[in-house]
Amino acid sequence: MKIVITGATGAIGGALARAYAKDGHCLILQGRKADQLSVLSDECTALGGTVSLVSFDLADLEQTRRWCDALLLDGVPDLVFANAGMNINTGADQSGEQWQQMDALLDLNVKSTLMLVHHMALAMKHQGSGQLVLMSSLAAYYGLPVTPTYSASKAALKAYAEGIRGGLAPHNVGVTVVMPGYVSSQMCHEMPGPKPFMWPPEKAARIIKQGVAKNRARISFPFPLNFGCWWLAVLPAAISQRIVKWLDYG
């Protein structure tokens, strides 16, 4: 099986790559940090996988478009993880996000992800097989005051994945949205606020892999954090805002 993983140098991306390498799959790994990609490639090869690497910044949308076209020249992938992403916050002094950072986040988290998924979805639909996995977040359920743009970007991915799943299902193309809570990583530790029920990336990858194999519409974890975040979305806004403030998220 040919598997594409973007953001492979991140904690979840790397853990997913190693998890699938154990099964001997052909992995196409994308990331910005060539040195870290090389180390990951060696690990995956040692585990039994076949690996090819591509190192560039997905926020460069023109280069991302060219890469999408190049991917399809070698055949349609069986499974694509749109995993790359970044986070920003309002700052230690709550001075607010900077537009330049917001713009860069939206290019990476939303535009490049939708571009990749759109290209692959059309090809998979024509072929009549394939699976797409979009990496959202529990922050998609309710916007956190300390990370409003990140929350908005992940909500966009959740809605898009839900939107295309029904249209692609008759063509034997699966779509899954993954909504993790806190997974130990540099990006996670740099986020402000408490981080309850944090998982190691290997555990997250195992749960994701199991859910993807079942073509689940949504994979969210860990319980009870996912249940609590869902309630934030359905409770009256005044109550949710009080809860978020009480939990020290802004």
Q: What digits encode the pLDDT tens for the residues 119-142? A: 999 999 999 999 999 999 999 999
Which pLDDT does position 185 carry in this prediction? 80
Which pLDDT does position 250 carry in this prediction? 63
H helical segments located in 142-224: 148-168, 186-190, 201-213
Whole-angstrom CA distances from 120 to 1, 34, 70, 169 are 15, 24, 11, 14
Q: For residues 8 and 185, which has the higher predicted lDDT (pLDDT)? A: 8
CA dihedral sign, ordered 48, 51, 55, 58: negative
In the structure, what pLDDT confidence band is assigned to residue 95 with cuts at 50, 70 and 90?
A: confident
Average pLDDT, the chain: 94
Q: What is the pTM of this model?
A: 0.94
Average pLDDT of span 92-119:
94
pLDDT in tens, 33-69: 999 999 999 999 999 999 999 999 999 999 999 999 9
Average pLDDT of span 203-211:
98
Average pLDDT of span 190-210:
87
Q: What is the DSSP string of 123-139?
A: HHHHHT-EEEEEE--GG
Torsion (CA) 210, 212, 218, 220 in degrees, nearest 10: 40
